[in-house]
Amino acid sequence: MGRRRQSVTIKHVAADAGVSLQTVSRVINNEPNVRPEMKERVQASIDKLGYVPSIAAQRMSGSRSYLILALNDRERTIADWQSRQGTDWVDQMLLGGMLKCAEHGYRMIFELVDTHNDHVQCELRAAIAALQPDGIILTPPHSENPLITSLLAEARIPFARIGSVTPGPGIAMTMDDEGSARLATQHLIDLGHRRIGFIAGPTDYAVAGWRIDGWRATMDDAGLSTEGLCERGDFGFESGVVAARKLLEQTDRPTAIIASSDQMATGTLEVARSMNLDVPADLSLVSFDNTPIVRFTEPSLTAVDQPIAATISRAVELLINAGKKDLPSEPVVVSGTLVERASTARPGANGVG
């Protein structure tokens, strides 16, 4: 009976091939300066024994850890998990990141860090010391936190800043939030809407401001006023309720609203229902994120699909190749799309759009 796959180690491969552990490691890591016949001998032993390289074996060369560390905001992530309201930001992060890591023999480690904590640098140093990642992905608001970015720059660890175009170290990446807001606004203008409200996210997220910019610029281009039509929330359901009520209780209320998160959009839907406003006949509604929940609301919501998985996948690819290729000097943009469903229609329409 042959060895069970899980019991085969790099030592077994080295012994079978009659070479040193370092030679096996160099072959596993596809490093230069390994003679072709030696590479063939080691590969033959790997195939024969059914050996699957471990991170520990890959690390033996001392040059790489084969780990990519992704950081997310602790407070908001835990709140989303506990509310169980269908947010899938983390799911999409892992989908894009883990699949791309697997293509290159890497692993993705996911950590929660409190960006508002004065001890954030100590917390991050501990994670770096324990994991020794080859690269780090920062998501909002970490990507705009100078305490975090300066520490990583000082440590010379390649990192990607998702949702950031601020000049500085690291790879700046965006999901074209301004362009997505333009897309949503233009969709409503094309349907004939003239008073289009906007529910923005909190000020500590740069993307919230970019979305306002996209909405306002598109309204300006069409010669439409935005005065009194923008309210802010915190991306959560209750804040969406408060913001929507302020907009919809106006004498000259908007005929359409764009909400900067699916949760705020469902809050808006709840307010419309309580005011006996039909969606979309009396109010068209567009959401951001396109999480699973928007397909099951009544009506289903037209939404901006945020390319989270594609963006994280691209970040992983850039970080893995950081030592081989020049890093982008300009922000990397991965654009989203608009998914049209039943919540948008012409103003006063008696059917769905």
Q: What's the chain's average pLDDT?
A: 89
How high is the pLDDT of residue 3?
Answer: 46
Q: Find the DSSP H helices in the chain.
A: 10-17, 21-28, 36-49, 55-59, 74-83, 89-103, 120-131, 146-155, 177-190, 206-221, 237-248, 262-274, 308-320
Q: Which residues are CB-neighbours of 319 under 8 A, at least 6 positions away?
A: 68, 134, 135, 136, 137, 158, 159, 160, 171
| CATH superfamily to which 5-59 belongs | lambda repressor-like DNA-binding domains (1.10.260.40)
How high is the pLDDT of residue 352?
Answer: 38
Pairing of strands 337-339, 302-305: antiparallel
How high is the pLDDT of residue 59?
Answer: 55
CATH label, 178-305, candidates 3.40.50.2300, 3.30.230.70, 3.30.2350.10, 1.20.1050.10: 3.40.50.2300
| CATH superfamily to which 67-175+308-322 belongs | Response regulator (3.40.50.2300)
Q: How confident is the model at residue 21 (pLDDT cuts 50, 70, 90)?
A: confident
Q: How far apart are CA 283 and CA 257, in angstroms?
A: 7
Please report how many Cα atoms fall inside a 13 Å half-sphere around the Cα of residue 157, on the Cβ side: 28
Domain ranges of the chain: 5-59, 67-175+308-322, 178-305
* 314, 308 contact by CB (below 8 A): no
Q: Name the residue with tokens 């994670």.
A: 127
Main-chain phi, psi angles of 313, to 5 degrees: -60, -45
Q: What is the pLDDT of residues 279-320, one digit of tens each?
A: 999 999 999 999 989 999 999 999 999 999 999 999 999 999
The arithmetic mean of pLDDT across residues 121-150, rounded, is 90
Q: What is the pLDDT of residues 195-225, one digit of tens each?
A: 999 999 999 888 999 999 999 999 999 999 9
Q: What residue type is assigned to position 78 of the chain?
A: I
How high is the pLDDT of residue 4?
Answer: 46
Q: How far apart are CA 206 and CA 196, in angstroms?
A: 22
Q: How far apart are CA 170 and CA 329, in angstroms?
A: 9
DSSP classification of residue 299 = S
Q: How far apart are CA 244 and CA 166, in angstroms?
A: 31
Q: What residue type is assigned to position 310 of the chain?
A: A
Q: What residue type is assigned to position 71 of the chain?
A: L
**Domain 178-305 in the same topology as domain 67-175+308-322:** yes
* 205, 140 contact by CB (below 8 A): yes
Task: Determine which helix (DSSP H) or strand (DSSP E) holds 55, and give its type and residue range.
Answer: helix 55-59
Please report how many Cα atoms fall inside a 13 Å half-sphere around the Cα of residue 79, on the Cβ side: 11
How high is the pLDDT of residue 335?
Answer: 94
How high is the pLDDT of residue 319?
Answer: 96
